[in-house]
């Protein structure tokens, strides 16, 4: 599904239009600045974007933030790869992004949304996210070094 929604908020464009994304910028940030995907290959980021509902934040046509939902658009979504460029932090863009996401009708009927964060619990709890109610039911196969060999 290629869902396109756009909204200007306080001089920033929030958009789900994948054609506006700067793939090289997203790859650079995630592969060098994130704690969750160091050294991720460009091709992997490209496939992830092609198969996700992506959100870009833009100032004067230049991308300054990103997030993506891995979703079936019916029951479930996983929010990941969320970042705001350090030069633009402190402007409430993460909050504005979450508010924009919550206004997307196609996401309002999902039964479950999840995410993993090391340090942004306060942000996400404002928008209804909570620690797992039954963490013993969740399982994972985690390969933290998978990108080191690519």
Residue 65 belongs to a domain: yes
Handedness of CA 40, 45, 51, 56 (dihedral sign): positive
The pLDDT of residue 1 is above 80: no
Residue 84 belongs to a domain: yes
Total tally of structural domains belonging to the chain: 1
Can you tell me the distance from the alpha carbon of 40 to that of 53, in angstroms, rounded to the nearest whole number? 19
Distances (CA, A) of 66 to 44, 62, 112, 142: 16, 12, 21, 23
Residue 1 belongs to a domain: no
Residue 40 belongs to a domain: yes
Asked whether 106 and 114 are in contact (CB, 8 A), the reply is: no
Residue 12 belongs to a domain: yes
Give me the percent of the chain exceeding a pLDDT of 90: 92
Asked whether 83 and 30 are in contact (CB, 8 A), the reply is: yes
pLDDT tens-digit readout, 72-117: 999 999 999 999 999 999 999 999 999 999 999 999 999 999 999 9
Which residues face 7 on adjacent strands? 14
What's the CATH number where 126 sits?
A: 3.40.630.30
Asked whether 81 and 30 are in contact (CB, 8 A), the reply is: yes
Measured from the Cβ of residue 76, the count of other Cβ atoms closer than 10 Å reads 14
Which residue segment(s) compose the domain that 17 sits in? 6-149
Is the pTM higher than 0.85? The answer reads yes
Residue 66 belongs to a domain: yes
């Amino acid at each position: 599904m290629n869902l396109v929604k756009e909204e200007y908020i306080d001089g920033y464009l929030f958009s789900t239009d994948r054609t506006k994304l700067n793939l090289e910028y997203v790859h650079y940030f995630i592969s060098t600045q994130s704690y969750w995907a160091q050294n991720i290959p460009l091709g992997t980021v490209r496939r992830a974007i092609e198969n996700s509902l992506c959100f870009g934040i833009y100032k004067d046509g230049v991308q300054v933030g990103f997030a993506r939902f891995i979703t079936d658009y019916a029951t479930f979504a996983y929010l990941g790869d969320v970042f705001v460029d350090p030069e633009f932090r402190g402007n409430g863009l993460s909050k504005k992004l979450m508010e924009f996401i919550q206004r997307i009708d196609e996401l309002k009927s999902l039964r479950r949304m999840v995410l993993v964060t090391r340090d942004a619990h306060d942000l996400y709890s404002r928008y209804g996210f909570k620690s797992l109610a039954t963490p013993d039911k969740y399982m994972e196969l985690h390969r933290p070094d998978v990108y080191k060999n690519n």
